Amino acid sequence: MAEASARRRGRGGGGAARRAARTGVKIEAAKYIERNIPLTEILNEEALEIIERNADILLEEVGVNFVNNKAALDRWKEAGADVDYDAERVRIPRGMARELCKTAPSRIIQHARNPERNVEIGGNTLVCAPVYGPPFVRDAEGGRRYATMADFEKFVKLGYMSKWLHHSGGTVCEPTDVPVNKRHLDMLLAHMTLSDKPFMGSVTEPSRAQDSVEMCEILFGKEFVQENTVMTSLINVNSPMTFDDIMMGALEVYAKNNQACIISPFIVGGAMAPVSVVGTLTQVLAEVTAGIAYSQLIRPGAPVIFGAFVTSIDMNSGAPTFGTPEASQILYGAGQLARRLGLPFRSGGGLCGSKLPDAQAAYETAHTHNAVLNGGVNFMLHSCGWLEGGLVASFEKFVMDADQLGVLHKLAAGVAYDENAQAMDAVREVGPGGHYLGCAHTQANFKDAFWRSELLDYKPFETWEDEGARDTQALAAARVAELLGAYEAPPLDPEIEARLRAYVEEKKASMPDAFV
Amino acid sequence: MAEASARRRGRGGGGAARRAARTGVKIEAAKYIERNIPLTEILNEEALEIIERNADILLEEVGVNFVNNKAALDRWKEAGADVDYDAERVRIPRGMARELCKTAPSRIIQHARNPERNVEIGGNTLVCAPVYGPPFVRDAEGGRRYATMADFEKFVKLGYMSKWLHHSGGTVCEPTDVPVNKRHLDMLLAHMTLSDKPFMGSVTEPSRAQDSVEMCEILFGKEFVQENTVMTSLINVNSPMTFDDIMMGALEVYAKNNQACIISPFIVGGAMAPVSVVGTLTQVLAEVTAGIAYSQLIRPGAPVIFGAFVTSIDMNSGAPTFGTPEASQILYGAGQLARRLGLPFRSGGGLCGSKLPDAQAAYETAHTHNAVLNGGVNFMLHSCGWLEGGLVASFEKFVMDADQLGVLHKLAAGVAYDENAQAMDAVREVGPGGHYLGCAHTQANFKDAFWRSELLDYKPFETWEDEGARDTQALAAARVAELLGAYEAPPLDPEIEARLRAYVEEKKASMPDAFV
């Protein structure tokens, strides 16, 4: 292990840094966030206990469905649950799901091929990953269109270049020009070769999860993968209360291989869960504990994350809505429930319903970003690039949101109050009516005193007007071009890269294309 | 009192409501926010005590300047402070400023001419007032230009029509086409006649503060004004540590007349205060306690608000920056300090540095709005309409931000967990794999379940595209036009209105125009 680690560390890339230095783009990677601030706890003890009791009642009385998955029903039966094979329904005695969750670890270290990019998920940390799943992309120049593998690679490159983004993500967009049964191979290859940040595995078929594991064995070494977590993958629950065979099949593969899964109800409130916050939280808790309990039946100690992806709904149109107060309330409450279970927590993102990277997109995104920070999220999928309710991955919004993640880093750090921070000498030096720009304390501290956006406009009005009176989208389009122009792949052992490419080619050749 | 009150209540306006009903614009006014959620406390007890001790040290060792104001120096001398008349410097013995602050009330009820619009400032409340001070206005059609009295009146009308805005504000923009020495009269007349929400008085000259009091005596009755607070006015401190004669003269007028003042350091961090958060908070606390102590020397019990308007600075350009993490941290810390003094707290707003109502404006605004909600602000000036660092009042951003204040209302309400909110029957009714849209619980609750924007786009992509693919600014421009088209003034006793107009005319005729 130590040897492999040292070898990888030795490959740390100077090329991209050199090229970036030439173009003026800085390549930096911030460490994942470690919060030094209190969390927002919007539910009191009484409300939390009611939700926990009600979730247990639901699991026992109503139960959950595991569909097309007799092996899962058998596992539950053996564990002591009440199983109705005809209805594929599992009723879990009170307390049993919570008890089973206890073997799940409270913190996960996900390894990256560059050990400096390893992330810890759990406790006071927050790991930011990009948007996941959109079939469309949008940029200012080309408008909205179906995503391609070329788009996918651009997003992976942007993610690699984004200082405040800790994770390369998974399906940053759906490469619709690659057959459905083969695109996971190209996506994984892109994450593995174009970035050195941690990434997610495929969940669209159990066999693709297995492919993900095998590609990781090439990248990290077989033994390393069995002993360490190198992927965090997204397992959605079909809310309400249903676990399908495809997602559970992928979960089974990952759990057996000690790889992390996010067990995540996917809920549009009012459609897949009750319209009330507490009703939704009750269902979320029941679903997550059932799913995590199942992961522990597969392999006790398998790394898992308590997920909650919940939007509200516009009752006029039926459209899901994002960045709303109810979505924030559910995020806060779910965080409290996850912490009481001692589990890492996934929620939030740069979520918005807007069709464009405009003010609506930013209001909604900022509301969710703030809730993520204050609500104790440990893994934020969709941190950047999400547009139009997740139908679209936006190039401009990707760099806009990624820049905003810097705000969260600074807020999370909390406030220093040592002697230097107290700045008493500065006030004594300057005195009433003076100014601080030139004083010794300012000179000594100004470089790190204030977070500075690398994208937003801080220029005098006249300069801004002379430069074309650009709005945020236009500034972001320029930054996308600048980052992609400066991109250079992080170095990778050519032998490993050749083996990865051979694996992908061989797999692709082994089956006909499928587009559904 | 009761009689006057009943008479005013009787005038409650049906005309605007009827007209609005015809155009489809709803005229509603939400009650000020009463928080039912915990606040964010980012400073621990040790840090707070250090700041309080250091502020006391600064007041005693360094002191504050009261310039061009011998009467103020005399008052301090008489109160026991160490006064240097040549330097106009007041050094306040440790603990004395805090002690003097104790006679200031912890809550203020500001009366409106429509008693339903009265606001309470302090404790768990949050009162939202619009942007204050910009010399320019901007809208999508006309771009950026100097503000006029016609613009001012439009903003007052928009404020009256904005459901989530509780307060009509003060100088919503500077009517630059009216002489400087007369514009306060027109501004007050506009607030008094075009809206029935509470408002702010003039502070640009002590005599204009006196005019404000006299106009209120016409509107509310002389006795009512002496016994009740009918104005909340903005007294800026010339940071660092300087109180000028104009602002103090206005404060003296208001305090003597039992009218509320916000004592507010105006700080660009790194220029008017140290670059560190704790250093800035120390100076803010010293300045506010000195100012509030002075108000209590004028009239013990005079209503005052602990203000903190602090931005960060872009150390590259020297430009003030808004919506930054450091600005939020200072807001949170100042809120804690205000609560420890038992004083109402003013900070924040829809602050941003952007030149346009674009994504940057919205990110920055939403960060500040969230900090305001979680940081315990009681009076939020600049809630809506602020653009370009406060140089510009934007019509579109006014309605965009005013709509966003609805998010804060819903978040502040907290989460219900009664039997209906628990929704157990709903989950039992729907069960695994079902959906909730038609269930009894959804039918009974959907109308109030989710906050709904009256501005943002929730439409299907195709509809949105067919309607012109409008961004938030374009949607907001349409809403501005719609609101102004539906506006009708709230009814006012014609005799009072005539007396107000006569007062303004007489005052204007009594002096030549002045434009500086």
pLDDT digits (tens, 9 = 90+) for B102-115: 999 999 999 999 99
- CB A414 to CB B42 under 8 A? yes
Provide ipTM, 2 decimals: 0.95
- CB A458 to CB B319 under 8 A? yes
Pairing of strands B64-66, B89-91: antiparallel
pLDDT at A20 over 80: no
- CB A450 to CB B423 under 8 A? no
Nearest CB neighbour to A432, from listed B64, B431, B449: B64
CA angle A43, A48, A49 (to 5 degrees): 150
Partners of A110 in the beta sheet? A119, A229
Provide CB contacts within 8 A for A23, sequence distance 6+. Answer: A482, A485, A486
Calculate mean pLDDT across residues A194-201.
98
Query: What is the least distance, in Å, from the CA of B58 to any CA of chain A?
Result: 8
Calculate mean pLDDT across residues B215-230.
97
Nearest CB neighbour to B54, from listed A271, A316, A422: A422
The amino acid sitting at A220 is F
Q: Give the residue carrying structure tokens 């840090």.
A: B47
At B19 the pLDDT is 55
Q: Give the residue carrying structure tokens 């300047």.
A: B65
Contacts of A271 in chain B (CB under 8 A): 435-437
pLDDT band at residue B2, thresholds of 50, 70 and 90? very low
CA nearest to A436, candidates A449, A419, A453, A451: A449
At A27 the pLDDT is 76
Calculate mean pLDDT across residues A457-475.
97
User: How many Cβ atoms are within 10 Å of B2's Cβ, its own excluded?
Assistant: 6
The predicted model scores a pTM of 0.95
pLDDT at B11 over 50: no
Report how far residue B238's alpha carbon sits from residue A433's, in angstroms, rounded to the nearest whole number.
7
User: What would you report as the CA-atom Rg of chain A, rounded to the nearest whole angstrom?
Assistant: 24
CA angle B225, B231, B236 (to 5 degrees): 135
At A2 the pLDDT is 39
Residue of A nearest to B66 (CA): A432
Helix or strand holding residue A146 (H, E): strand A143-146
CA angle B263, B172, B480 (to 5 degrees): 145
Spatial contact of B55 and B285, defined as CB atoms under 8 Å apart: yes
Calculate mean pLDDT across residues B272-287.
97
Nearest CB neighbour to B325, from listed A279, A374, A451: A451
Above pLDDT 90, what percent of chain A? 93
Q: What does residue A103 show for φ and ψ, rounded to 5 degrees?
A: -80, -10
Mean pLDDT of chain B: 95
Query: What is the least distance, in Å, from the CA of B393 to any CA of chain A?
Result: 15
Query: What is the least distance, in Å, from the CA of B223 to any CA of chain A?
Result: 40
Above pLDDT 70, what percent of chain A? 95
Spatial contact of B443 and A274, defined as CB atoms under 8 Å apart: no
pLDDT in tens, A253-307: 999 999 999 999 999 999 999 999 999 999 999 999 999 999 999 999 999 999 9
Spatial contact of A129 and A165, defined as CB atoms under 8 Å apart: yes
H-helix segments, A180-307? 183-194, 206-220, 222-227, 245-256, 277-298
Query: What is the least distance, in Å, from the CA of A301 to any CA of chain B?
Result: 27
Residues found in chain B: 516
At B23 the pLDDT is 58
Q: What does residue A490 show for φ and ψ, rounded to 5 degrees?
A: -70, 140
Query: What is the least distance, in Å, from the CA of B400 to any CA of chain A?
Result: 9
Calculate mean pLDDT across residues A354-361.
98
Query: What is the least distance, in Å, from the CA of A12 to any CA of chain B?
Result: 31
Residue of B nearest to A311 (CA): B450
- CB B415 to CB A47 under 8 A? yes
Nearest CB neighbour to A359, from listed B445, B446, B472: B472
Spatial contact of B139 and B151, defined as CB atoms under 8 Å apart: no
3-state secondary structure of A514: coil
Residue of A nearest to B462 (CA): A355
- CB B314 to CB A450 under 8 A? yes
pLDDT at B14 over 90: no
- CB A366 to CB B361 under 8 A? no
| Maximum C-alpha span of chain A | 81
Spatial contact of A261 and A305, defined as CB atoms under 8 Å apart: yes
CA nearest to B310, candidates B319, B320, B302, B318: B320
- CB A241 to CB B333 under 8 A? no
At B317 the pLDDT is 86
User: How many Cβ atoms are within 10 Å of B355's Cβ, its own excluded?
Assistant: 24
At A1 the pLDDT is 34
Partners of A313 in the beta sheet? A320
What are the distances in angstroms from CA B131 to CA A4, A433, B304, B377? 59, 27, 20, 16
Spatial contact of B233 and B54, defined as CB atoms under 8 Å apart: no
At B4 the pLDDT is 40
**Which of B146, B417, B451, B473 is the best substitution to test chain A (most A C-beta atoms within 10 A)?**
B417
pLDDT in tens, B306-323: 999 999 999 888 899 999
3-state secondary structure B102-155: CCCCCCEEECCCCHHHCEEECCCEEEECCCCCCCEEEECCCEEEECCHHHHHHH
The dihedral sign for the CA sequence B217, B219, B220, B221: positive
Residue of A nearest to B404 (CA): A363
The dihedral sign for the CA sequence A161, A166, A168, A172: negative
Contacts of A404 in chain B (CB under 8 A): 363
Query: What is the least distance, in Å, from the CA of A221 to any CA of chain B?
Result: 41
pLDDT in tens, B169-198: 999 999 999 999 999 999 999 999 999 999
Residue-by-residue DSSP string for A370-398: HHHHHTT-SEETT-S-EEGGGTEEEHHHH
Nearest CB neighbour to B427, from listed A41, A279, A362: A279
pLDDT band at residue B15, thresholds of 50, 70 and 90? low
Structure tokens at A422: 């107290």
Mean pLDDT of chain A: 95
CA nearest to B167, candidates B211, B201, B214: B201
Pairing of strands A119-121, A108-110: antiparallel
User: How many Cβ atoms are within 10 Å of B450's Cβ, its own excluded?
Assistant: 22
At A423 the pLDDT is 97
Nearest CB neighbour to A271, from listed B58, B316, B437: B437
CA angle B286, B287, B293 (to 5 degrees): 90
Calculate mean pLDDT across residues B4-21.
46
At A196 the pLDDT is 97
- CB A441 to CB B276 under 8 A? yes
Calculate mean pLDDT across residues B255-266.
97
Nearest CB neighbour to B278, from listed A272, A313, A417: A417
Nearest CB neighbour to A433, from listed B242, B358, B457: B242
Spatial contact of B192 and B215, defined as CB atoms under 8 Å apart: yes
What are the distances in angstroms from CA B210 to CA A106, B204, B251, B294, B452? 64, 11, 10, 19, 43
At A140 the pLDDT is 95
pLDDT in tens, A50-90: 999 999 999 999 999 999 999 999 999 999 999 999 999 99
Spatial contact of A400 and A474, defined as CB atoms under 8 Å apart: no
At A516 the pLDDT is 78
Report how far residue B440's alpha carbon sits from residue A431's, in angstroms, rounded to the nearest whole number.
67
- CB B362 to CB A367 under 8 A? no
Partners of B145 in the beta sheet? B137
Provide CB contacts within 8 A for B290, sequence distance 6+. Answer: B59, B64, B90, B92, B97, B241, B243
Calculate mean pLDDT across residues A381-399.
98
pLDDT at B142 over 80: yes
At A8 the pLDDT is 40
Partners of A13 in the beta sheet? none
**Which of A458, A459, A479 is the best substitution to test chain B (most B C-beta atoms within 10 A)?**
A458
Nearest CB neighbour to A360, from listed B270, B420, B472: B472
**Which of B363, B365, B396, B410 is the best substitution to test chain A (most A C-beta atoms within 10 A)?**
B363
Spatial contact of B277 and B235, defined as CB atoms under 8 Å apart: no
CA angle B313, B314, B319 (to 5 degrees): 75
The amino acid sitting at B428 is R
Residue of B nearest to A38 (CA): B42
Residues found in chain A: 516
Provide CB contacts within 8 A for A31, sequence distance 6+. Answer: A166
Contacts of B424 in chain A (CB under 8 A): 54, 57-58, 279, 282
pLDDT band at residue B8, thresholds of 50, 70 and 90? very low
pLDDT in tens, B417-463: 999 999 999 999 999 999 999 999 999 999 989 999 999 999 999 99
Provide CB contacts within 8 A for B392, sequence distance 6+. Answer: B134, B136, B137, B138, B144, B355
Report how far residue B368's alpha carbon sits from residue B10's, in angstroms, rounded to the nearest whole number.
39
pLDDT at A17 over 60: no
- CB A326 to CB B410 under 8 A? yes
Spatial contact of B310 and B269, defined as CB atoms under 8 Å apart: yes
